[in-house]
Chain A
Amino acid sequence: MYKYVFRRVYQLIIVFFLFLVSSYVLFDAIPGNAFQNLLLNPDLPPEAYEQVIKLYGLDKPLSERVILYIGNFFQGDFGYSYKHFPRTPIELIAERLPRTLMLFAMVNIIAFYTGFLIGKILAWRRGSKSETWITVTSVFSYTIFYPWWALMMLWFFGYKLNWLPIGKFLYPEKWYDAPYDSDVIFVSMIKFTLVVSVVQILVYIYTRNIESLSLRRNVRFISLSILAILSILYWNSGDLAIQKPYAMDIAYHMILPIFTVTVVAFAGTALLTRTTMMEVMKDDFILTARAKGLSQKRIRDRHAARNALLPVVTSFIFTIVTIIDGSVLTETIFSWPGMGQLILDAVLEEDIPVAMASFSFIGVFALIAHFIADISYAYLDPRIRIQSQG
């Protein structure tokens, strides 16, 4: 297994290196840039002109610059934004990323969970009326023209019913005298979500081997209740009690985008689960499970769904990769100032250092996700686990 992990890491590093070089060269090939505009400013004295060029290293040939860039990159130096000088790309990303992660982590968790659940039930009830209707609806929401859908949701819930806020990610009037920056709140929210998810997974893994079904269910239920109580206590303690109203404000603004994206995102998982599960249900071991006299629910969850989980998890991890680039559209429509908007602006305004840093960040993110996909695949499928030992 270690050998396998090591080999994967080694491959990933090479892929990332190629990714960096080609991104740099591609950005360089864009005709004209923001930097040129800066230099064409008639107010800039010629001495300064030379200096600025030197400062950014733009007098060197492309090949040298690539090497320089990559060298700096691995020392954690990404240069300065052309647009927001003297802020660095890292500062900009650090501000934007939590907002995007919070929103899309929620969307993906909800979409995966509901998608898998619904797909499972669809496959199990194939041929029934409800199955037909839900499948048709899922196909519809899977293929819907997303911007239109998002605007409709904005119009309906935000304008027509006036239930949910539009066009902002918080109520600025609430934040005038806020003791914290919104980023701090975002980070607390992400930390909290992360801890809760990890605890849930751990509970699930550790209770897996409890022999009695009812005992297992009870243990899980009790641990989740404890988790819920602890969460409430946590948000009412010390510092977080002050942060709470602001966190609530952000959460309130998240409802509409989460709902809108989830409706589209869950359908993919549901349809994929349905198809794979129907395939699995043809397998002989399902017949064995039925012959053993197991309950329908157990056959469905333990045997059919467990085997259908593999491809679904993989596809899920690959969707996570697209969180940031996929967020461009959503963030624009919902005025959510996250990574998506940062990238869009950077590319449109040719703020190359920021664009490069953001893209490399997506690259790292994608590679890590693939890596996790590989490892979790090995965990879910014992057949791969064995092969990978070699």
Chain B
Amino acid sequence: MNILEVKDLDMSYRTIDGEVEAVKKVSFTVKEGESFGIVGESGCGKTSVAMSLLQLQADNGKITNGEIIFNGKNIVGLNEAELREVRWSGISIVFQGAMNSWNPVVKIGEQIREAMREHYPDKTKDENTKKIIELFDIVGLESSIIDRFPHELSGGMKQRAVIALALSCDPKLIIADEPTTALDVVIQDQILKEIRKVQDVLGLSLIYISHDIAVIAEMTDNMAVMYAGSIVEMGKTSKVFSDPKHAYTRMLLESTPSIVGPKKKLRSLDGEPPSLINTDPYCLFSYRCPNPDDNCQNRKIEMKLTKIDTDHYVDKCCVNCG
């Protein structure tokens, strides 16, 4: 069963310089209990995708096309009240800057209970508190944290509490948008393990977003590689890693140190990601492509994911350019 199906999603921000097309024709599906990764350089539109799923994009952002079918129902164009029901009890999110996700003047426990109250108004305070303690136990926090203010916690503790918060209303799908970026390396690793564990134990579906392809390898079953607002390669994580087709995917892989396997020379990412204002429908990576073929140079083939193997799709332009 698919918990989430995104079809041809377009989202753009209106700015004084023109429309920033941050999400272009993005389609992917997430199965129940699966962990789906989205990887790409910063600025390629990962957060924009995540925000579109909850329809919490900035005020100047608008979904212009496409469907988001969550739990069998298209949630694009729902009104505010209907969306509020989907949020948190359907789809919850661990934000990029999760350190600042807490209101500084309200106790942690109250901020979690507040969400539970909204979605399960019949539960008593004691029931809610009991559940929070259980969740804290899962993410490795002491129950006394309930009565703490955010500034009394360390970064790692805050982040664990954010995960507990995201779990509090029994969501079917959790989005984790670079949840460890602001943390130091040791804590990062612990948090990753925590998320993995939670996902296993509770059988949740997860969308894991990161700019670090190594983390995606560790965390996900299936993955998509995003470049300049579009998905350029998608498939089983193991396949994408063992047989990357798109030149951009290879570039990402070569820029990441591999923990296992032979030592090789690291390459940094050459070139800059393109501007997303008023783009054309052709492959935007061709300008950076290390060994472009005729397709790339002519820029005549419209972007479209093509199936090249079971569970492995790559952009048409780049099928042969590697």
Contact = CB atoms under 8 A, between A and B. Distances in A.
B104 A293 contact: no
- Give the residue among B89, B95, B103, B151 with the most A Cβ atoms within 10 A: B103
Interface in A279-299: 283-285, 287-296, 298
A283 B54 CA distance: 18
Nearest to A214: B121
A289 B110 CA distance: 12
B105 A288 contact: no
Contact of A285 (B93, B100, B151, B152): B100
Interface in B37-86: 54, 56, 80, 83-86
Nearest to B107: A382
A174 interface: no
Majority SS at the chain A contact face? helix
Interface centre among A290, A292, A296, A386 (most CB of B within 10 A): A292
B149 A292 contact: no
B97 to A, nearest CB: 5
A284 B101 contact: yes
B117 A307 contact: no
Contacts of A290: 56, 87
Contacts of A7: none
A84 interface: no
Contact of A284 (B97, B115, B117, B119): B97
Nearest to A210: B125
Contacts of A292: 87-88, 114-115, 118, 165, 169
A381 B150 CA distance: 12
B95 A288 contact: yes
B95 A287 contact: yes
Given A211-B117, A295-B84, A289 B56 contact: no
A370 interface: no
A380 interface: yes
A303 interface: yes
Interface residues of A, number: 26
Given A292-B88, A293-B84, A287 B56 contact: yes
A201 B124 CA distance: 27
Contact of B149 (A212, A288, A382): A382
B189 to A, nearest CB: 24
A306 interface: yes
B171 to A, nearest CB: 11
Nearest to A304: B103
B282 interface: no
B117 A289 contact: no
B125 A211 contact: yes
A386 B56 contact: no
Contacts of B92: 291
B64 to A, nearest CB: 20
Contacts of A213: 117
A294 B114 contact: yes
Contact of A291 (B85, B87, B106, B125): B87
Nearest to A310: B105
B89 A382 contact: no
A382 B93 contact: no
Interface in B124-172: 124-125, 149, 151-152, 165, 169
B105 A380 contact: yes
B152 A386 contact: yes
A302 B93 CA distance: 21
A212 B84 CA distance: 19
Contact of A283 (B80, B100, B151): B100
A382 B88 contact: no
A383 B149 contact: yes
A336 to B, nearest CB: 39
Given A287-B56, A288-B101, A293 B89 contact: yes
Contacts of A212: 117, 121
B102 interface: yes
A302 B151 CA distance: 18
Given A293-B89, A294-B118, A307 B95 contact: no
18 contacts: A211-B124, A211-B125, A284-B95, A284-B97, A285-B103, A285-B104, A287-B56, A288-B103, A291-B92, A291-B93, A294-B115, A294-B118, A295-B84, A302-B106, A302-B114, A306-B106, A382-B105, A386-B152
Interface of A: 211-213, 283-285, 287-296, 298, 302-303, 306-307, 380-383, 386
Given A285-B100, A292-B114, A382-B105, 6 more contacts: A288-B165, A291-B92, A292-B87, A293-B118, A381-B105, A382-B104
Q: 8 smallest A-B Cβ distances: which pairs?
A: A293-B87, A284-B100, A293-B84, A292-B115, A382-B149, A288-B101, A285-B103, A211-B125
